[in-house]
């Protein structure tokens, strides 16, 4: 079976995602790679007479249509004879939650909650709504500009927390914005994770609330492994968890080749039997938030009350970045093995 990479692109109204998705599909198709697009379901529901008078009822229809479309696209992807398949989603299930006030009711209607929806996509790219001077209304895009900005904020409420989120800001022009998205896609498809990691003073979490962070509870266990780092992770909140298996082979201090898969609870429990007896499970709280268009993950641990980690994933080694002013950096430890979680797991902390 071909390797399938699932990438959802979303954004506020008039963010350019549909145009970008179509162009990406044409550009990334090759002799060795198939590309499929899962279309935006809302347009199909509207075309079939769906009404937005009741947003919960409307988004329930959209989500169910989306699930049908995703199932059909994945079936085609699995039948591909090429080595790799990329599926671009023009919005995903997660989007539906941003349009309703009663998100629990929507989850009950479709049998999928927000945490479950994240696990359907290997990466999630959020595009900023176009500036007001370029905003265009259509028969399907009925929101005025200020309403569009409010919808974008609601979208961020339900997407911040995804383990592989990218946010693409508006650039000088649309071509630059497209090239920025393309660079993110190239980074995702490369299989390499380029990460900046900072040892910081224990943060005042109340000061970070203005960034509306998502708090994830993580339990990370390292398995016996001859090459690289093999781990399993339980990640979620309020008793709702997703399970991951990750193999990471270090290329440089800050760059690693990473393969990550979503697994079932049963698979997670089975893999736990191969836990490295010389390493303890690492438990931590992770605060995910956006600052200046950059996606940060802040980890605090029960064994430290004076320091923590702040991590930022980059699309290239020379990418510029800006840290939040509330963060007090002790040291850049991106290349220091002694601050890798796998090393800490082997210590008596």
In the chain, where the domains are located: 3-190, 193-344
The pLDDT of residue 14 is above 50: yes
Closest CA to 33 of 93, 80, 96: 80
**Beta carbons of 206 and 326 less than 8 angstroms apart:** no
| Structure token pair of residue 287 | 């605060």
Using CA atoms, how far apart are residues 21 and 88, in angstroms rounded to an integer? 7
Using CA atoms, how far apart are residues 173 and 166, in angstroms rounded to an integer? 19
pLDDT digits (tens, 9 = 90+) for 232-250: 999 999 999 999 999 988 8
Give the three-class secondary structure for 49: coil
**Beta carbons of 273 and 150 less than 8 angstroms apart:** no
Confidence of residue 53 (pLDDT cuts 50, 70, 90): confident
For the whole model, what pTM was predicted?
0.91
Give the three-class secondary structure for 12: coil
- Give yes or no on whether 3-190 and 193-344 have one common fold: no
**How is domain 3-190 classified at the CATH fold level?**
Rossmann fold (3.40.50)
Closest CA to 287 of 202, 198, 216, 211: 216
As a CATH number, domain 193-344 is: 2.40.320.10
pLDDT digits (tens, 9 = 90+) for 119-155: 999 999 999 988 887 777 554 555 778 888 898 999 9
* pLDDT reported for residue 43: 87
CA triple 89-94-100, angle to 5 deg: 130
Please report the beta strands in the chain, taking only residues with DSSP state E, as ranges in sequence order.
3-11, 33-38, 84-90, 123-127, 165-168, 192-201, 214-222, 229-237, 240-250, 255-263, 282-291, 294-300, 307-314, 329-332
Task: Please identify which residue in the block is written with the tokens 């162009």.
Answer: 23
- How far is the CA of 56 from the CAs of 68, 81, 99, 107, 110, in angstroms? 18, 40, 8, 10, 11
pLDDT digits (tens, 9 = 90+) for 69-99: 999 999 999 999 999 999 999 999 999 999 9
The pLDDT of residue 277 is above 80: yes
* pLDDT reported for residue 139: 41
């Amino acid at each position: 079976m071909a390797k399938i990479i699932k990438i959802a692109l979303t954004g506020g109204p008039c963010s350019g995602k549909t145009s970008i998705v179509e162009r990406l599909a044409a550009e990334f198709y090759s002799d060795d790679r198939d590309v499929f697009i899962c279309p935006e379901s809302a347009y199909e529901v509207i075309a079939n007479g769906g009404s937005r008078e009741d947003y919960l009822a409307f988004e329930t229809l959209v989500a169910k249509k989306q699930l049908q479309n995703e199932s059909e696209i994945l079936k085609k992807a699995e039948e591909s004879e090429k080595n790799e398949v990329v599926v671009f989603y023009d919005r995903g299930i997660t989007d539906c939650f941003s349009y309703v006030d009663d998100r629990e009711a929507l989850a009950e209607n479709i049998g999928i909650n927000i945490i479950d929806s994240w696990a359907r996509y290997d990466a999630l790219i959020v595009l900023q709504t176009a500036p007001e001077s370029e905003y265009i209304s259509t028969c399907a895009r009925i929101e005025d500009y200020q309403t569009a900005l409010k919808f974008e904020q609601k979208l961020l409420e339900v997407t911040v927390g995804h383990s592989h989120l990218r946010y693409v800001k508006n650039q000088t022009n649309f071509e630059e914005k497209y090239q920025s998205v393309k660079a993110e896609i190239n980074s995702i498809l490369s299989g390499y994770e380029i990460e900046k990691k900072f040892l910081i003073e224990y943060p005042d979490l109340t000061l970070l609330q203005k960034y509306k962070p998502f708090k994830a509870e993580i339990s990370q266990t390292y398995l016996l492994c001859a090459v690289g780092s093999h781990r399993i992770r339980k990640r979620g909140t309020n008793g709702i968890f997703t399970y991951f298996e990750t193999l990471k082979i270090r290329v440089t201090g800050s760059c690693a080749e990473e393969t990550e898969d979503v697994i079932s609870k049963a698979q997670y429990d089975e893999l736990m039997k191969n836990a490295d007896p010389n390493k303890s499970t690492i438990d931590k709280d992770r605060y995910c938030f956006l600052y200046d268009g950059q996606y940060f993950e802040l980890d605090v641990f029960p064994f430290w009350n004076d320091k923590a980690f702040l991590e930022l994933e980059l699309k290239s080694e020379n990418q510029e970045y800006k840290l939040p002013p509330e963060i007090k950096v002790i040291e850049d430890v991106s290349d220091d093995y002694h601050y890798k979680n796998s090393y800490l797991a082997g210590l008596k902390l």
